[in-house]
Structure 1
Amino acid sequence: MKRLIEKGLMFGNLVRVDSPALVERYRRAMKALTGRETALEEFHIDISGYSPEIGDELDDHLYLNPDGCNRQFILLTTEQKRAPLLNAKFSTSRGILRRFIEENEPQLFSLTARDAVAGELDNTVYSLDSPARLFDIRRITVLADTTGNHLAEAEKLSRLVERFRTETDAWFDDVLIAQMIQLAEKAGDVTRSPLRLTSTTFEQGNFWTAHFGGLYLFRDVAEPFVISVGPKEKLGELPVDYVQDLRDRNQIARLLDINHLVEPIHEARGVDAAAILRQKMDFIVVSVAAELGLDIGHGSRRELRKAAAELGDRLPPEFHGLAAILRWVETGGPRPRITAMHPAYFYTLRARPGPDRDLVNMALAELAPMDVRQLFICHKQLFYQLYRDWPEAKKQFVADYLEREYQIDKAGARRALFGAEPGMDDMPVRHDWQIDSAAIRTPGPWERTRRDTAEGPWGRRSK
């Protein structure tokens, strides 16, 4: 993992906390939320205030998310909105935190100038004892205040000010006036600068969760369904008609298609389909060559073509399926018939534009894991998990490729692959890409040592 860290592909964009004042504010907030404190004098935090160094210190990377259900957070600065979310349990959590910060930025800027803001993402479900409980999560409320209770005090002061303005004899109520003065010393002038968070409730529709081995819940679609990473038999009764696991390729393909969630890459507007398909083939060549110990040099296109020629029939059906589609895209002729049971099928798709674009691309990355670029962008947790067991040659190629082709223009790369970002009005909760450092459990960068045939869109006849 050190290679990824050095190239900024892991633990990137965290906020450094090294001033004594901010460290002390963090300690107070951490004590209030968890009952524990850190002895570290400097560390890094993500958008929620979670620190990998403190997680290592406590040997508990879920110290701000003990049940993995109602995530707690600590805000020291509004600049945390640019940071990633580590050890995520829900795909929507970072989007909720970022929108909360952005939509309350002036108030939070004022509050964090004097104290840390601490709170939690409350979904009213306090124990996920069965997968069915996930369907009870519909709305997330952000509960927040400073460790000095500035918001609560400001609210109380606002009520007293309203009494003072409306009650006839308030001018003569010495107790009321004394209370207002005392509260104003802490809350400030709430008549001119009201401290009130207005955007604190967010809807949670379709989402991914790390719970129960990994589940994708699509309930706000025409035909609701669940995709389970593990065996679906272990989930028990769920309130949807369709429960599939990764072995059910035909059923997953049909559900994604009838709910208008995916489109073939070659039909997508504004993309270079041939270039995307060719790059997917390169990734497959690298994977197979590394497994067989075949030298690919620096992984240039010429070297990869040579490796592909040497591998020949040893290349998997994913490669040959993509090659057939690429030939059709570039030269025409009979359209290849790729059904959902073909290993290359999910490599040929991307999510349609819409509010669930990122969630669908995340599921496709799980179904097509040899596309390491999409895997890294859309499902970092799975990327890091698989990366640990890759041959050294594949690790080096992928790290170098991502640093060279993705890091320099992340937004441009995502736009070229997946289209324009969904607008905020179309996307009540964004499914951002997460890092699950708890699932990795390797020494952090700051440690000194330490699944009836449904053919789907590709089975249709060309028009």
Structure 2
Amino acid sequence: MKRLITKGLMFGNLIPVESPALIERYNRALKALTGKETKLPDFHIDISGYSPEVGDELGDHLYLNKNGCNRQFILLTTDQKNAPLLNAKFSTSRGILTRFIEENEAQLFSLTARDAVAGELENTVFELTSPAKLFDIRRVTVVADTTGNHLAEAEKLGRLIETFRTKEDAWWDDVLIAEMIGLAQKTGDVTRNPVTLKATAFEQGNFWTSHFGGIYVFRDVAHPAAISTLPKASLGQLPIKYVFDLTDRNQIAKFLEINDLVEPIVTARGADAAAILRQKMDFIVVDAASALGLDIGPGGRRDLRSAAAALGHRLPEEFQGLAALLRWVETGGGWPRITSAHPAYFYTLRARPHADRDLVNMLLAELSPLDVRQLFICHKELFYRTYAGWPEEKKQFVADYLEREYQIDKAGARRALFGPEPDMSGADVTPGPLRDMLDIVGPWGAVRKERR
């Protein structure tokens, strides 16, 4: 993993905590949440305030996420909104924290200027004893305050001020006035500068969780289903009609189709289908060559073509299917019939622009694991886990490729692969018509009428 860390592909964009003042604030929040403190002179934190170094020191990398249900967080700066979320147990957690910070940025900036903000992502489930309990999670509420209870005291001061304004003869109530003055010394003038947090409740409809081996829950779609990484029989009875595992390729394909969640890459608006397919094929060649101990040299396009020629009939079906599709894209040959039973099928799809686009692309990455670029972008937990078991040649190639082709323009790479970012309603934010000519006439082109 040192190779990934050195290239910024692991633990990248973490927030450094180096000053004694910030460390003191972090320790106050950490003690309030967990009863523990760190003695480190410096460390790094993610969006939730979790630190890999502190986790090593405490011997507990879930020190802010006991039971993996109600994640606690420590905010030292609003800059944490750009940091990743490490050890994610739910796919929605980072999005909730990001929206919470962005929608309360002015208030949080004011609060973190003097103290740390500590809190928790609360739901009604405190321990996941069975997969069925996942379906009890419907809403996540963000509960937060400074370690000095600034928000609670500001709220209390607001109530006292209202009492002072409405109570008869309040001017003569020395106890009330003294309490107001004492609180105001801590909170400031809440009448002119009110400090309240908004947007603290978030619906959790469709999500992925790492619990029970990994489960995708789609319940806010027309045809709900749960998709398990482990055999579905291991989940027991679930309160949802359809339950699949990764071996149910036909059923998953049908589920994605009838809910209109995916689109073929070759007909996706704005996608350079040939370039995307060719790169997927390169990744498959690297995997096959490294598994057989074949040398791919520096890993350039000529090296990979030579490796593909050397492999010949030993190239896997995923490569053969994508090659046939690439021939259709570039030369207009016969349309290849790639059904959901074909190993290349899920490599040919991407999520349509909608609110759960990232979740669907995450599922597709798990169904097409040889596409290491999509795996790294969409499912880092699985990427790191599988990376550890790769041959050294593949590790080096993938790390070099991601550093060279992805790190320099992450937003551009995501846009080229998956299309423009959808807004919160799921609509495509790119101006222009929502359907281009390929959507209307299909991949075979328009049928022209004979001129009379």
For residues 158 and 213 of structure 2, what CA distance do their matches in structure 1 show?
47
User: Does residue 47 of structure 1 match 2:27?
Assistant: no
**What SS class does the counterpart of residue 135 from structure 2 fall into?**
helix
1:284 alignment partner in structure 2 = 284
1:350 alignment partner in structure 2 = 350
2:155 alignment partner in structure 1 = 155
For residues 100 and 222 of structure 2, what CA distance do their matches in structure 1 show?
29
Distance of aligned partners of 1:85 and 1:461 in 2 relative to their CA distance in 1, 3 Å threshold: closer
Asked if the contact 2:118/2:146 (under 8 Å) is kept, the reply is yes
1:435 alignment partner in structure 2 = none
2:233 alignment partner in structure 1 = 233
> Residue deviations 1:202-236, cap 9 Å, x none?
11110000001000000000110011000100111
2:368 alignment partner in structure 1 = 368
For residues 335 and 64 of structure 2, what CA distance do their matches in structure 1 show?
52
User: Does residue 327 of structure 1 match 2:327?
Assistant: yes
The residue type paired with residue 180 of structure 2 is M
Asked if the contact 2:91/2:209 (under 8 Å) is kept, the reply is yes
Deviation at 1:426, TM superposition (A): 3.5
2:267 alignment partner in structure 1 = 267
2:38 alignment partner in structure 1 = 38
Deviation at 1:333, TM superposition (A): 2.6
Summarize the alignment of residues 374-389 of structure 1 with structure 2, pairs less than 5 Å apart: 374-389=374-389
Of residues 353-362 and 162-171 in structure 1, the stretch that sits farther from structure 2 once superposed is: 162-171
Summarize the alignment of residues 86-97 of structure 1 with structure 2, pairs less than 5 Å apart: 86-97=86-97
For residues 35 and 124 of structure 2, what CA distance do their matches in structure 1 show?
22
Deviation at 1:168, TM superposition (A): 2.2
The residue type paired with residue 209 of structure 1 is T
For residues 4 and 198 of structure 1, what CA distance do their matches in structure 2 show?
38
Deviation at 1:462, TM superposition (A): 5.6
Deviation at 1:461, TM superposition (A): 9.7
Identify which of structures 1 and 2 has the higher relative contact order when contacts are C-alpha pairs closer than 8 Å and 6+ apart.
1
1:442 alignment partner in structure 2 = none
For residues 246 and 383 of structure 1, what CA distance do their matches in structure 2 show?
17
2:449 alignment partner in structure 1 = none
For residues 95 and 422 of structure 1, what CA distance do their matches in structure 2 show?
14
For residues 312 and 241 of structure 1, what CA distance do their matches in structure 2 show?
44
For residues 291 and 336 of structure 1, what CA distance do their matches in structure 2 show?
28
For residues 334 and 16 of structure 1, what CA distance do their matches in structure 2 show?
55
Summarize the alignment of residues 155-234 of structure 1 with structure 2, pairs less than 5 Å apart: 155-234=155-234
1:126 alignment partner in structure 2 = 126
For residues 412 and 105 of structure 2, what CA distance do their matches in structure 1 show?
27
User: Does residue 404 of structure 1 match 2:407?
Assistant: no
For residues 332 and 292 of structure 1, what CA distance do their matches in structure 2 show?
33
**What SS class does the counterpart of residue 67 from structure 1 fall into?**
helix
For residues 343 and 314 of structure 1, what CA distance do their matches in structure 2 show?
15
2:63 alignment partner in structure 1 = 63
1:434 alignment partner in structure 2 = none
**What SS class does the counterpart of residue 191 from structure 1 fall into?**
coil
Asked if the contact 2:253/2:340 (under 8 Å) is kept, the reply is yes
Asked if the contact 2:353/2:426 (under 8 Å) is kept, the reply is no
Deviation at 1:371, TM superposition (A): 0.1
**What SS class does the counterpart of residue 68 from structure 2 fall into?**
coil
1:82 alignment partner in structure 2 = 82
Deviation at 1:288, TM superposition (A): 0.8
> Residue deviations 1:184-215, cap 9 Å, x none?
01111100111110111111110000001000
> Residue deviations 1:92-115, cap 9 Å, x none?
000000110010011111111111
2:115 alignment partner in structure 1 = 115
Distance of aligned partners of 1:421 and 1:461 in 2 relative to their CA distance in 1, 3 Å threshold: closer
Deviation at 1:293, TM superposition (A): 1.2
For residues 81 and 276 of structure 2, what CA distance do their matches in structure 1 show?
31
**What SS class does the counterpart of residue 119 from structure 1 fall into?**
strand
Deviation at 1:374, TM superposition (A): 0.2
Aligned residues: 432
Deviation at 1:425, TM superposition (A): 4.2
Asked if the contact 2:90/2:208 (under 8 Å) is kept, the reply is yes
TM-score by length of 1: 0.92
Deviation at 1:47, TM superposition (A): 0.2
Distance of aligned partners of 1:404 and 1:461 in 2 relative to their CA distance in 1, 3 Å threshold: closer
> Residue deviations 1:313-369, cap 9 Å, x none?
111000001001111111113211111111000000000110010000000000000
For residues 132 and 444 of structure 2, what CA distance do their matches in structure 1 show?
41
Regions of 4+ moved over 2 Å: 424-427, 460-463
The residue type paired with residue 165 of structure 2 is R
Deviation at 1:157, TM superposition (A): 0.1
The residue type paired with residue 368 of structure 1 is S
Distance of aligned partners of 1:59 and 1:309 in 2 relative to their CA distance in 1, 3 Å threshold: same
For residues 264 and 444 of structure 2, what CA distance do their matches in structure 1 show?
12
2:316 alignment partner in structure 1 = 316
1:21 alignment partner in structure 2 = 21
RMSD (CA atoms):
1.3
**What SS class does the counterpart of residue 143 from structure 2 fall into?**
strand
TM-score by length of 2: 0.94
